[in-house]
Amino acid sequence: MAAPLEKRIILADYGKPDSHTLSVYEAGGGYSALKKALISEKDKWTPDAIINEVKASNLRGRGGAGFPTGLKWSFVPRNTGKPTYVVCNADESEPGTFKDRVILEDLPHSIIEGMILAGLALESGQGYIYLRGEFYKGWQRVDAAIQEAYAKGYLGENILGSGKTFHLATYRGAGAYICGEETALLESLEGRRGHPRLKPPFPAVKGLYGSPTTVNNVETFAAIPHIINNGGDWFKKLGIGNEKSGGTKLFSVSGHVMKPGVYEVPMGISLIDFINETAGGIRPGKELKAVIPGGSSTPVMTRQEAMRAKLDYESMAEIGTFLGSGGMIVLDSSTDMVQLTKRLADFYAHESCGQCTPCREGSKWIADIIDRLIDGNAVEEDLTTLLSFTKNMGNGTTICPFADANVMGVVPIVEKFYDEFLYYLEKGKSGEGK
Amino acid sequence: MRAVENYTFSAKAEERFKKLETQFPERESLVLWALHLVQEDAGYIPPSAISYVAERVGVSRSHVQGVISFYAMFHDKPMGKFHLQVCVNASCWLAGSDELEKTIENHLRIRPGETTPDGLFTYNRQGECLASCGTAPVVQVNADYHESMTPQKLETLIEQLKRNS
Ligand SMILES: Cc1cc2nc3c(=O)[nH]c(=O)nc-3n(C[C@H](O)[C@H](O)[C@H](O)COP(=O)(O)O)c2cc1C
Ligand code: FES
């Protein structure tokens, strides 16, 4: 059942018994977009027509960066003589994010249909779904759904008698956050260590096996069938904020709210209404202190900032943060921001792939300073040093944006809640913390 | 569990590998898949499996070794029968993962990275968020997630696992 303010499009069948099966998906209109594109409206849905419809929808990549999907697809060259690949990023490991897992486990056919449509748009005959290794149940569900789709003729050669071919296979990661970054994902999918590649060339031109490739997020693909069925303009207008952020979006909310979970709401609704109405509000007797809006790599918002935020790409950018993956962590007045920072800093220090010195060393330094602070061994300069060297960690000094993600996730917490860090410093100096 | 000296794929792994060989145009892609199959067979990646995978896929041993050392889920040492991983990232910490860590340490008397002397349990702190933050805190046991955990529930689970083994 939908929660207050929810508008369920992608999640329409979420919660129904056996929603992961082909029969339930078809009963809810599943694969009708594919049938339209391949059979009943086959002349209309040329590759360009599909891309243009996706452009018109203003769908933006749901993996975190928010890049317009139609535009991304239009960069993939056709007729290169090489195969083109459609890759689904199901590595979901940005702390605070757990929306893709719901689609993978409970609505896997929506991903498959979206990927086949992407295959038609890009004239690709092969797709891969890269799941993080920890998602064993998700992998089983996706694998079973692929087999159902093959059996029913939605995948394989001559799909539904149309003459088109699209094959789909799964791949399992093995515990590395960096493999969510699309070029690291491709390295991993090619059977190597997950080291991000230098860009350009972008995957659109030189991706998997050196061929044209699109990498899109799970939720991005799941939105495609609805766009083909109901039109790009319809999808765009589902958003109630500004036109550039089209559609509904899944948000996964955790932390100090009464009803954590995954919700689908129109883009552009107020953040505080979402917290209070959809997610059941803050725990009784506590007050909102801060919100990490879109996964741990998006800058934390203070209560004041959160009060005026709207859930779309532009409004978040105005406040100096990002909508990101929609993985929202809500923090109430009881939260110790220094301890919270430790959890994130340790995570980034552990997950840096180690290719670039500023990232490998910088992430370790951050974690060490936070540790010293907590252990009572920090000195006055530690905090200023942290704020200084983190300026040189990302900003184009590294191959991929991991270092930027680390800095954006950690530094705003230190800056905006500096008093709490000073408190630990003073406590340490007085010998209390030891 | 599969023999670890002179490891070869089990019949089931062999069948899956044959199918996987048809799905990827370049064989190198099979490295991670082959290692997953080995681990499902043997519980870890025994030394003999490294040459085996290298040979079956057609890459060097050092390539396989490099992959194993990069990815946290591949274990080059035997693990306990049950691998307990407590997520300690932000949302699980907010929901009380500290208490779960204490529960394991007190109950099984092992520290992170250790295995109980009877070989039943290996315990690790999982720094990577497991995408289960809405049902935090979470403990992963082998492939399964145990969500909305409490110290009480964890103790019961550990006792159950002991009984069923
Ligand atoms: C460090 C890092 C981790 C990332 N993790 C993920 C992830 O887990 N899932 C995802 O879809 N995108 C992730 N991304 C974004 C991808 O690089 C890429 O932008 C995305 O898959 C594109 O799909 P979209 O356009 O549909 O969003 C990550 C990026 C970085 C820099
Ligand atoms: S923080 Fe533990 S599952 Fe996300």
Chain CA centroid to CA A45, Å: 28
Give the C-alpha separation, A429 to A423, whole Å.
Answer: 10
**ipTM of model over 0.85:** yes
3-state helix, strand, coil in chain A (%, to 5): 45, 15, 40
Give, using CA atoms, the residue closest to atom 1 of ligand 1. Answer: A402
pLDDT exceeds cutoff 80 at A400: yes
Domain boundaries, chain B: 11-70, 82-164
pLDDT exceeds cutoff 70 at A129: yes
Q: Find the Cα–Cα–Cα–Cα dihedral B56, A166, A23, A162, rounded to 10°.
A: -150
Q: How high is the pLDDT of residue A241?
A: 81
Q: How high is the pLDDT of residue A237?
A: 96
Lowest-confidence segment of A107-111, A165-169, A430-434, B96-100 by average pLDDT: A430-434
Residues A378/A430, Cβ–Cβ less than 8 Å: no
Q: How high is the pLDDT of residue B47?
A: 96
Q: Tell if the pTM clears 0.95, that is, is over it.
A: yes
Contacts of A244 (CB under 8 A, 6+ apart): A58, A60, A312, A313, A314
Q: How high is the pLDDT of residue A430?
A: 86
pLDDT exceeds cutoff 80 at A433: no
B140 lines ligand 2 (CB under 6 A): no
CATH topology for the B11-70 domain: Arc Repressor Mutant, subunit A (1.10.10)
Using the 8-state DSSP alphabet, how is residue B137 labeled?
S
pLDDT in tens, A218-264: 999 999 999 999 999 999 999 998 888 889 999 999 999 999 999 99
Q: How high is the pLDDT of residue A345?
A: 98
> If you average pLDDT over every residue of chain A, what do you get?
97
Q: How high is the pLDDT of residue A206?
A: 98
pLDDT exceeds cutoff 60 at A434: no
> A215 phi and psi, to 5 degrees?
-115, 120
Contact A262 B134 (CB under 8 A): yes
Q: Which CATH architecture has domain B82-164?
A: 3-Layer(aba) Sandwich (3.40)
B30-89 residues touching A, CB cutoff 8 A:
30-33, 35-36, 57, 59, 63, 66-67, 70-74, 88-89
Residue of B92, B125, B128 with the most ligand 2 atoms within 8 Å of its CB, for mutation:
B92
Q: How high is the pLDDT of residue B5?
A: 85
Ligand 2: centre distance to CA A101 (Å): 12
A95 pLDDT band (50/70/90 cuts)?
A: very high
Q: How high is the pLDDT of residue B4?
A: 75
* Burial status of residue A316 (CB atoms within 10 A of its CB: 0-12, 13-18, 19 or more): buried
* Burial status of residue B141 (CB atoms within 10 A of its CB: 0-12, 13-18, 19 or more): middle
Give the pLDDT mean for A398-406. Answer: 97
Give the pLDDT mean for A22-30. Answer: 98
Q: How high is the pLDDT of residue A352?
A: 97
Of the candidates A115, A111, A117, the one whose C-alpha atom is nearest the C-alpha of residue A138 is: A111
The per-residue pLDDT string of chain B (165 residues; one tens digit each, 9 = 90 and over) reads 666 789 999 999 999 999 999 999 999 999 999 999 999 999 999 999 999 999 999 999 999 999 999 999 999 999 999 999 999 999 999 999 999 999 999 999 999 999 999 999 999 999 999 999 999 999 999 999 999 999 999 999 999 999 988
